[in-house]
Structure 1
Amino acid sequence: MISVENFGDLLDLDLGAFTSKPTSLEGNQKEAAVSLWTSLDGKIESGVWECTPGRFTADRSENAEICHILAGRVTLHNADGTARQIGAGEMFVLPLGWHGEWTIHELTRKIYTMVAAGV
């Protein structure tokens, strides 16, 4: 049987300890995340992520990402040099093949869904 899953208030969800962001361009950026749901085939994952201010690289060669910013403000820098500011309440998609950088302006929390190539 397939049933609905509810995860409650995601702004108050404990994400655990922050760890160093491996793709940070500034060295001291920290992140935390909790995976809330993964499809049986492992090709779709949804969860909550939070990151401290700073700048990091991102590569969506292997998966697309759907994001909804719960709190905070970011600028997404596309590989072509264009940029877009996104804040709390906004949703966006990083399509399969997207490469770029994120600038986190203030502590930011998002809901994410990663979808593997070929789904």
Structure 2
Amino acid sequence: MSALAPGAVVDAAALPLAHEPLPASEVLSGAPTTGAVALDELSGIEIGIWEMTPGTASDTEADEVFVVLSGRARIEFVDPALPSIEVGPGSLVRLAEGMRTVWTITETFRKVYIA
């Protein structure tokens, strides 16, 4: 699984992504859609681009680190010990496998993820 050849350059902010609606069971408000592409896998670690349009949805997280390329979001953690965070371009975030979250996207949100 490699969409990115060694030495290749990809404009991560402009890469076209095919979007699909989120499952109704995850949508809390709006009609958000998501798109993603896995760019490569290195030693079992996937690297890709993920995007979500405005709306609010719940999720159970994978073990990942991501960098926000564009857009804005508020991520609320179901665990009351963790404060909500506001993220935007340049934010670097670490999520752990199994964390339950609620994402409120206010501007179409795009990230590079490593999972």
TM-score normalised according to structure 2 size = 0.81
Q: What's the counterpart of residue 25 of structure 1?
A: 28
The one-letter amino acid of 2:32's match is: Q
Question: Aligned partners of 1:45 and 1:7: how far apart in 2?
Answer: 17
Superposition pairs of residues 1-119 of structure 1, within 5 angstroms: 4=6, 6-15=8-17, 17-22=18-23, 23-26=26-29, 28-39=31-42, 43-60=44-61, 63-81=62-80, 82-114=83-115
Whether the 8 Å CA contact 1:59–1:98 is kept in 2: the answer is yes
Tell me the CA shift for residue 19 of structure 1. 0.7
- CA deviations over 1:56-76 (Å, ceiling 9, x no partner): 11112xx30111100001111
Equivalences, count: 107
What letter corresponds to residue 80 of structure 1 in structure 2?
D
Percent of paired sites with the same residue: 32
Structure 1 Cα separation of the partners of residues 47 and 14 of structure 2: 17
Question: What secondary structure, in the 3-state scheme, does the structure 2 residue paired with 1:25 have?
Answer: strand
- Give the structure-1-normalised TM-score: 0.79
Query: Structure 1 CA distance, aligned partners of 2:98 and 2:33?
Result: 25
Gap regions ≥5 residues in structure 2: none
Contact 1:7 1:36 in 2 (8 A): no
